[in-house]
């Protein structure tokens, strides 16, 4: 009888504790969801009005980057202005070649003959189409007529196959020609009409995304437009205001350049992410980028007379039990509000900060049974239970960023 009584008492105590835990869990879930909806209703998009000069490229560099996206070695060939070419400077051979290219029957026959060659790869076809576009960019009417003939021939080839798949891949000369032709025709429209709104859209989305944690390994973010890229295993985080001092470099000796800037980062940001935010803050403040690349600069924490270089991985990095290295963060170095960070130029050869692999982790840890805070301290069984659906409101709070183009009624709806 005593054993039965003790067993019943323990069973009641266990049931009571489980009920308390369930009530606490439900309360936390309700609070998280309520806070998410409150943020959705009250959060105002803080858009920086002076987001810097829109980095438009001149036509020459725009065309080269469009025609040869992966063939940087060809860009040095075009030393002339791509808009103005003096016909008197051409020798007889180039004049004869130009006459052949301007012969529609000859050009169409050459293209069909080349595409029948087995050793004429997809890369060769794209390069041939790009060179041909450059040669005919001042004769767009003629290039358009060539495209009509080639497109008609391509449609006849695909008539007995799957016409819906046509033009989905750039595997023929005509497909690359069509891409280049549209780029040339839309270059002025992009620069004069939709370029600035699109740049504002991307800048604003980046601002919203950077307000929350972003896992640098998986690229998942708390604020995103896509549920598949939602960082729902989000740790507790807070904002840290840094006083950033930029080292003077010869490329930026203008007296108007502000070198002391306040930058907001998150304590869960890696050092590489902090660099990107610091560079973006410099661009927003001065209207021009810093004179060095990300891999050319380092960050240094200044505490009195002491300095400490900040790195994504160093001797103080936390190594998990399974041998995976956790990337250093602002919280790992215990950097507080108002701390001074110096941006300096590296003396050694410039290399990428970290080449991430499966042996690294940031916010999403490989061991789901262990929780690790931003300082790298390991806790088992103490992390909060979280479900993905709790953070779906973050998708809705990010979406207003994409509606910025609606503030430009004079722009065509094609912007969306």
Q: Which residues contact 130 (CB under 8 A, 6 or more apart)?
A: 67, 68, 176, 180
Residues 355-382 have pLDDT tens digits of 677 788 898 877 544 444 444 444 443 4
Query: Given CA atoms 283, 289, 294, 298 in this order, what sign does their dihedral have?
Result: negative
Greater pLDDT, 69 or 136? 136
Q: How many residues does the chain have?
A: 416
User: Is residue 324 over pLDDT 90?
Assistant: no
> What is the average pLDDT value for the chain, to the nearest integer?
77
Write down the number of H helices and E strands in the chain: 10, 10
* 247 DSSP 8-state letter: P
Q: Is 382 helix (H, G, I), strand (E, B) or coil?
A: coil
Q: Please report, rounded to a whole number, the percentage of residues in the chain having pLDDT higher than 90.
A: 18
Inform me whether the pLDDT recorded for 284 exceeds 60: yes
**For residues 280 and 343, is the Cβ–Cβ distance under 8 A?**
no
| Band (270; pLDDT cuts 50, 70, 90) | very high
pTM to 2 decimals? Answer: 0.63
CB 154 within 8 A of CB 174: yes
């Amino acid at each position: 009888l005593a054993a039965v009584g003790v067993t019943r008492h323990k069973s009641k105590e266990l049931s009571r504790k489980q009920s308390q835990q369930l009530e606490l869990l439900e309360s936390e879930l309700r609070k998280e969801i309520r806070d998410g909806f409150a943020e959705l209703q009250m959060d105002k998009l803080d858009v920086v009005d002076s987001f810097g000069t829109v980095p438009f490229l001149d036509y020459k560099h725009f065309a080269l980057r469009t025609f040869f996206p992966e063939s940087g070695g060809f860009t040095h060939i075009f030393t002339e202005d791509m808009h103005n070419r003096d016909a008197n400077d051409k020798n007889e051979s180039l004049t004869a070649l130009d006459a052949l290219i301007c012969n529609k029957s000859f050009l169409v026959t050459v293209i069909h003959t080349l595409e029948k060659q087995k050793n004429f790869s997809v890369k060769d076809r794209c390069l041939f189409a790009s060179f041909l576009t450059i040669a005919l960019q001042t004769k767009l009417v003629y290039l358009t007529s060539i495209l009509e003939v080639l497109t008609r021939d391509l449609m006849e080839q695909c008539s007995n196959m799957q016409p819906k798949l046509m033009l989905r891949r750039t595997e023929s000369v005509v497909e690359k020609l069509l891409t280049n032709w549209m780029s040339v025709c839309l270059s002025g429209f992009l620069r004069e009409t939709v370029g600035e709104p699109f740049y504002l859209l991307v800048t604003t989305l980046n601002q919203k995304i950077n307000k929350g944690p972003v896992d640098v390994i998986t690229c998942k973010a708390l604020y995103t437009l896509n549920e598949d890229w939602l960082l729902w295993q989000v740790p507790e985080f807070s904002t840290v205001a840094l006083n950033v001092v930029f080292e003077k470099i010869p490329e930026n000796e203008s007296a108007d350049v502000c070198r002391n800037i306040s930058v907001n980062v998150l304590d869960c940001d890696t050092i590489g992410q902090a660099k990107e935010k610091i560079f973006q803050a410099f661009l927003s403040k001065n209207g021009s980028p810093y004179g060095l690349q990300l891999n050319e600069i380092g960050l240094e924490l200044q505490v009195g007379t002491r300095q400490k270089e900040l790195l994504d991985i160093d001797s103080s990095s936390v190594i998990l039990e399974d041998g995976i290295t956790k990337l250093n963060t602002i919280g790992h170095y215990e950097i507080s509000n108002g701390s001074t960070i110096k941006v300096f130029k590296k003396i050694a050869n410039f290399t990428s900060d970290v080449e991430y692999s499966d042996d690294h982790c940031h916010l999403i840890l490989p061991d789901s049974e262990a929780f690790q805070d931003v300082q790298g301290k390991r806790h088992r069984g103490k992390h909060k239970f979280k479900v993905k659906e709790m953070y779906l409101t973050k998708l809705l709070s990010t979406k207003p960023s994409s509606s910025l183009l609606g503030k430009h009624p004079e722009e065509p709806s094609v912007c969306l």
